């Protein structure tokens, strides 16, 4: 497996995010910070997520992408595009209900070469737990299967969040 990497390109308010390799929790802080800045950029028009070189993607990363779609819809009333030529990745996206919040394109012939790296930020355990919790809450909101699949994890994370100060988690 290839270590995860996030790159972006931008032209006239349209952003392309390329997620390469293993997309794991460790990249979520950097991705979330970039997405917040991107959505707050004057002139933001749309976003395309390129998963053509994504080897694996965890549920926290999926939750963050779902959150991006929901926020982009609120800002510009357009569903983002997900380029997903890998059948295994597309199957995961469909099982999570992403066809409701993204336009999923299985052809990746559209390539951009002027990508810039998104710097990876380290984050605290508390910050990471909060991101994981938020991402999974978003996934749970997409459909009943997700609600069932992630409800125990969310309950455990909420319990840990409530008991952080006492160190009982």
Neighbour count for residue 101 (Cβ, 10 Å): 22
Mean pLDDT of the chain: 87
- Other Cβ atoms closer than 10 A to 2: 11
pLDDT beyond 80 at 24:
yes
Instruction: Give the pLDDT band (50/70/90) at residue 48.
Output: very high
pTM (two decimals):
0.83
CA pair distance 80, 68, nearest whole angstrom: 8
Structural domains of the chain ordered from first start: 5-122 (3.30.750.24)
d(CA 145, CA 3) in angstroms, rounded, equals: 30
Mean pLDDT of all residues in 16-41: 87
pLDDT > 90? residue 67: yes
DSSP string, 56-122: EE-HHHHHHHHHHHHHHHHHHS-PPEEE---HHHHHHHHHTTGGGTSEEE----------EEPPPPP
């Amino acid at each position: 497996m290839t270590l995860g990497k996030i790159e972006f390109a931008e032209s006239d308010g349209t952003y392309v995010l390329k997620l390469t390799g293993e997309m794991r929790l460790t990249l979520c802080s950097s991705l979330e910070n970039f997405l917040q800045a991107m959505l707050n950029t004057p002139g933001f028009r749309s976003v395309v997520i390129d998963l053509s070189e994504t080897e694996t993607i965890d549920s926290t990363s999926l939750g963050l992408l779902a959150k991006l779609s929901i926020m982009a819809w609120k800002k510009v009333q357009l569903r983002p595009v997900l380029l997903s030529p890998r059948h295994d990745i597309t199957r995961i996206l469909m099982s999570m209900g992403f066809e409701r919040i993204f336009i999923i394109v299985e052809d990746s012939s559209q390539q951009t070469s002027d990508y810039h790296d998104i710097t990876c930020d380290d984050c605290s355990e508390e910050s990471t737990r909060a991101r994981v919790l938020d991402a999974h809450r978003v996934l749970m909101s997409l459909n009943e299967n997700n609600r069932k699949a992630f409800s125990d994890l969310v309950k455990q994370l909420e319990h840990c969040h409530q008991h952080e100060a006492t160190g009982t988690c």
